[in-house]
Structure 1
Amino acid sequence: MLRGIRFSRFLLCLAAAAGLASGAASAQTRLLPFPDVYKDKVVFTYAGDLWTAPSTGGAASRLTAHPGLEMFAKFSPDGKWIAFTGQYDGDEQVYVIPATGGVPKQLTFYPARGPFPPRWGYDNQVYGWTPDGKSVFFRSLRDGWDRPESRIYTVPVAGGPSEPLPMPISGGADLSPDGKKVVYTPFARDFRTWKRYQGGWAQDLWTFDLASHETKNITNTPRSERDPMWIGAKIYFDSDRTGTLNLFSYDPASGETRQLTQSAQWDVRWPSADQDGQIVYELNGELSVLDTRSGQSRHLSIEVPGDGLDTRPSQVSAAGQIESATLSPKGERALFVARGDVFNAPIEKGVTRNLTRSSGAHDKWARWSPDGRKVAFISDRTAEEEIYVIDALGKGKPEQLTSGGKAMRYDPEWSPDNQRLAFADKDGRLWVVAVADKKLTEVAREVRGEIRDYAWSPDGGHLAFSLSNPSTFRSLWIWSVADGKLRRITDEQFHASNPAWSPNGDYLYYLSARSYLPQFDTFDFNFAEDRNFGIYALALRKDVGHPFPPEEDTVALAEEEKEEKKKEGKKEDKKKEPAPVRIDFDGLASRVIRVPVPFDNYGALSAAPGRLIFVKRPPATFGEPPSKPMLQIFTFKDRKVATLTEGGNYDLSQDGSKVLVAQDGQYNLYDATPTGKDSKK
């Protein structure tokens, strides 16, 4: 696995698999989020710009054109203006524009927070107008100490300062037709992709009296209610209480709640209404309008004209979009995952091959088999993430090994005998699948997260990994292929993780937090712990000697030196198969040996013949830019630690000779030796 990685000489290119675009995008353009409706018109966002179209469908007309985003458009009560959130000067601010087109007018100027990752949404999100049409109300993050905490503000269209509504925190909101009450949800979680979420962030709807400050909870289900709309005497909203987001109505007078749409496959998203009782919403990327008086929805077939520049076939560089990289068994080539495809690239000479060419799927977590013949990877081409193998030269089609996946899957690891693949999933399970008969075995399950540190023994007969204990410390476990048994091999007293087998199968190295030397803080008289990890070894058999016996100066005899040189000069005619790894589990936890390196912040431990490779990370200091982690090598012969290079993400070839390191957007290859820094490629 890439622990913790663009070759500077590589440029990976691929053809964008897109259909030919005509002058119009298609008879039905999709991806039309954030719509609003006013009588016979709808407005929506497409490709970051605002467009309007008839509420019966038809050709759309562009309203804005700017490299930034324009979104969350809302018609004024008289339909003459449209308020929206725009990025004309880089951050998000509130603007208004004539509904027929014109020059946008900026209403807010307080600096927006961000930019944020998509899941946090946007600052200054417009939600609507006051009933008199004099002000726009929007959600602002200016008062929140944390990103999801926001508040509703109003800003006059004529110009002037923004004023907050009395609710201290608020997500989506709408005003009653008389402007005396607000329906809102305290949390803004609209851009989260969680499905059927039940927990502390599940959104409820409340009404708030602006005069008396009286509040009332009008929804109380385990799931989320969002996107409130107050039309006449009723409140309408989105809820996923049935499994997908659908529209519901609530009658404040009777307390009755009714479901209005029945979409079982697609979420009803971004609903918005006018006071005539129309609700426009996005469904499967297309727009529909619900007439609340009749209860009927109608689909809008909307065409957005364009030259199709973004959908025409083109060559795209994938070099700047690499998400993972791993080496071939001996480090002659590398696998890169970029833009959802797996590439087989040479280190110095040769061609780069796209092994998967799957424009409709996300292929990832590619890993070379130990014999170099196959590549394993994970793909969602069946709609769920499954394990596949393909010829390393791209010949033939991928073979699917698993089915029935229900969670994200991670990092397939080949057993050294090429017979099995171990992988983990987001549900905390660790699996092993046999390549020949596709038999799937659940090895273990983690109740406090995921299992991500599994490693095969040199003969492929055992799998080591860590699981958490009730104390939250982790212990090492070994699963054996022969008997299917799972055995814990370290106790609960100390945290242990990141197992790495010695190439000869005599030892299992791992990281353990055993140094507790807290630093005293003179500011608030508290303690902080740092650099508490050491590297340890378990002697797997009782007859295995100490890997670091006492050192003693000796006199080398001439004849012995000659014999040693003869042995070193001999080359094996053929590769030896690894001997079966035998483990004496009785008393194994007590056969622990500390590797003679100082305690520090270690991670990403690997073992190679005669040496250990690991990452040392600097301590985190608030208010200062972080220092770079260092890739280090400990050699058994001289028992010294050498720094190979900077970098915290690396992949070691399976023979332990080469290491691929991610460094400032580049991927560099080094010999995996203490002097390997001079071999950089």
Structure 2
Amino acid sequence: MVRQRGKGIIYLLGLLILSLQSCSLLGGDSQGNFQTSYVSSAGTPVAINQTARNTFQGHIYFTLHRDLAVIDGKLNVTRLTQGLDVRDPSISPDGRWIAFQARYKNYSDLMLMPTQGGKPRVLRTGAGIYESNPGFAPHATYLWYAQPAWAPDNKHLLFLSDYDKQHVTDPNVDAFLIDPQIFSIQLDHPDGTPQEIAYATYGDGGLRDPVYRPGHSDQIAYTNFTYDSSRIKQSIQIYLEDPNAIAHHPDKYRPGDISDEFDPAVALTPRLPDLANMQPAFSPDGNAIAYIRRLDANHMGLFVMPVPPGASTLTQVPNNAQDDQRALEGYSKSIQLVTGEYISNPIWSPDGKYIAYTGYANNTFDIWLAPLKRNAQRNIYSLQGQPVQLTNANGQLDADSRPFWSS
């Protein structure tokens, strides 16, 4: 099935960040025993809710004032980096490595460091040059790398990038490829040519939030930004895809525009004007997806839906009407857990008993914990009690950076 998509402005990826500037959390419990356990590099105290001591397990990696930090099982907070603008930490499945983005004025680097701390090393750098190119279009070789996500084998890393803008021969196309697409590299050869994993529609805002489905190396999910045929209304969807589909069929799939774009993904959420479903996060067993839905201009919700039945077959022969309909079966069983003016970045605890997310209360962003109850027979989750505020970051939590919860 050919997807019809419209062209649009290239900065749509930033709208999620810009939208997280003022909000209020509904239905949560901000009370607790908060004790200062960290002072940010700006000199601001950060407190952790000690009432979570009996329930919190594992490690949450996140960023405070652009430093990488970790909360451990004893609710201690440790700074792991300083002097870097860190975003989107991701822990390898074997627990040994942290991948993250280090951001600079005109580019970003893809970085790697041990989970226990140490000196980060650059996997891929986006450093480049700007050429004014008199008489012709200006040219820049800077690159952006963002949102790394590990493959189950600990040897491959997904990431977002505008890498393709320098590797196309059509001058009418390269400008559109500054929208982020999904790529993969081998950790043994990080400087090699990245494998193309998922394509964006020209000028529609690109892709974000890539993540592997646990236990399924043949499935990834991500957020896709698309305009409708009017090129005015936008739909934001969660897609499921075989990460090797493009590599196996290089002549079949490609980025494109409204008339000729093909991709191997199948939509797990409907494509409707102004409907936004985004930021997928698989449960540890891989059978459910937590995600964020924009409810209206002033509210967002945290939802959980089951992965549709036969998901593996959906990605093998994509783009047919029957499978497109079957892929939406999980969405029809979605359960809303939390409502707030803005909520983002859902992550599961390693035992599947909690979802942590970025929420807003008392004029600041913090990490909140939603306790879960699961109906195993129906694979349906519900909220057990009220969300609890984990951090009191006093404005130091970076709400535009995804946290990561590991064992």
* TM-score greater than 0.5 by the shorter chain: yes
Who is 2:183 aligned against? Answer: 153
Contact kept, 8 Å, 2:95 with 2:115, in 1: the verdict is: yes
- The unaligned stretches of length 5 or more in structure 2 are 1-35, 50-55, 131-142, 166-174, 201-206, 247-263, 310-328, 375-382, 397-407
Report whether the alignment pairs 1:207 with 2:287.
no
User: AA paired with 2:369?
Assistant: V
Query: Does the C-alpha gap of structure 1 residues 262 and 301 become closer, same or farther in structure 2, counting only changes over 3 Å?
Result: closer
In 1, Cα distance between the equivalents of 2:96 and 2:76?
A: 20
Identity %: 19
**Cα distance per residue 1:237-274 (max 9 Å; x no partner):** 1111355222222321243332332223x311122346
Residue 230 (1) aligns with residue 282 (2)? yes
Q: How far apart, in 2, do the equivalents of 1:28 and 1:188 lie?
A: 40
The question of whether the paired residues in 1 share the 8 Å contact of 2:226 and 2:235 is answered with no
Deviation at 1:65?
A: 0.5
Cα deviation for residue 302 of structure 1 reads 3.4
Residue 180 of structure 1: aligned partner: 218
Correspondent of 1:168 among 199, 204, 209: 199
Question: Cα distance 1:240–1:23, how it changes in 2: closer, same or farther (>3 A)?
Answer: closer
CA gap 1:188/1:227 in 2 versus in 1, 3 angstroms: farther
Larger Rg: 1
In the alignment, structure 1 segments of 5+ residues that lack a partner are 1-20, 31-37, 115-121, 190-197, 309-681
Question: Contact 1:52–1:61 at 8 Å: present in 2 too?
Answer: yes
Residue aligned with 1:65, SS? coil
Deviation at 1:26, TM superposition (A): 4.2
Contact 1:268 1:282 (C-alpha < 8 Å) held by counterparts: yes
Q: Is the 8 A contact 1:238 1:268 kept in 2?
A: yes
- Cα drift, residue 158 of structure 1: 3.2
RMSD of Structure 2 on Structure 1 (CA) = 3.7
Match of 1:100, SS?
Answer: coil
Relative to structure 1, the CA distance from residue 26 to residue 212 in structure 2 (aligned partners, 3 Å threshold; closer, same or farther) is closer
2:153 to 99, 115, 132: 132
Structure 1 partner of 2:317: none
Q: Cα distance, 1:77 vs. partner?
A: 1.2
Report which stretch shifted further, 105-114 or 277-286.
Answer: 105-114
Matched length: 261
Q: Which residue of 1 aligns with 2:108?
A: 92
CA distance in 2 between counterparts of 1:148 and 1:223 reads 24
Contact (CA 8 Å) 1:174, 1:228: kept in 2 or not?
yes
Partners of 2:181 and 2:47 in 1: how far apart? Answer: 37
TM-superposed CA distance for 1:49, in Å, is 0.7
* TM-score (normalised: structure 1): 0.34
Q: Counterparts of 1:281-680 in structure 2 under 5 Å?
A: 281-284=357-360, 285-294=365-374, 295-296=383-384, 298-302=387-391
Letter of the 2:65 partner, please give it.
Answer: A
Query: In the alignment, which residue of structure 2 is the partner of 1:217?
Result: 267
Counterpart of 1:142 in structure 2 is 163
Which whole-Å CA distance do the structure 2 matches of 1:260 and 1:79 have between them? Answer: 31
Distance 2:129 2:358 in 1: 27
Alignment CA distance shift 1:47-1:199 (3 Å): same
Matched letter for residue 301 of structure 1? L
Spell out, residue by residue over 1:13-41, the C-alpha distance to the aligned partner (whole angstroms, 9 max, x if none): xxxxxxxx9995346489xxxxxxx9511
Deviations 1:412-456 (A, max 9, x none): xxxxxxxxxxxxxxxxxxxxxxxxxxxxxxxxxxxxxxxxxxxxx
Distance 1:141 1:88, change over 3 A: closer
Relative contact order, CA 8 A, sep 6+: which one is greater?
Answer: 2
Superposed CA offset, 1:262-311 (max 9, x none): 223x3111223465434321101110133555534643433679xx9xxx
Report the counterpart of residue 71 of structure 2 in structure 1. 53
> In 2, Cα distance between the equivalents of 1:48 and 1:94?
15
Q: Deviations over 1:74-119 (max 9, x none)?
A: 12112222111013797311111111110112111344799xxxxx
Q: Does residue 107 of structure 1 match 2:123?
A: yes
Partner of 1:241: 295
Moved over 4 A (4+): 21-24, 211-214, 291-294
1:262 corresponding residue in structure 2:
338
Work out whether residues 147 and 210 of structure 2, in 8 Å CA contact, stay in contact via their aligned partners in 1.
no
Mapping of residues 180-199 of structure 1, within 5 Å: 180-187=218-225
What is residue 59 of structure 2 aligned with on the other side? 41
Change (3 A) 1:90 1:206: closer
Residue 524 (structure 1) aligns with = none
The answer to whether the 8 A contact 2:37-2:76 is kept is no
Residue 127 of structure 1, CA deviation:
3.7
Amino acid at match of 2:213: S
Q: More helix by proportion, 1 or 2?
A: 2
For residues 276 and 290 of structure 1, what CA distance do their matches in structure 2 show?
13
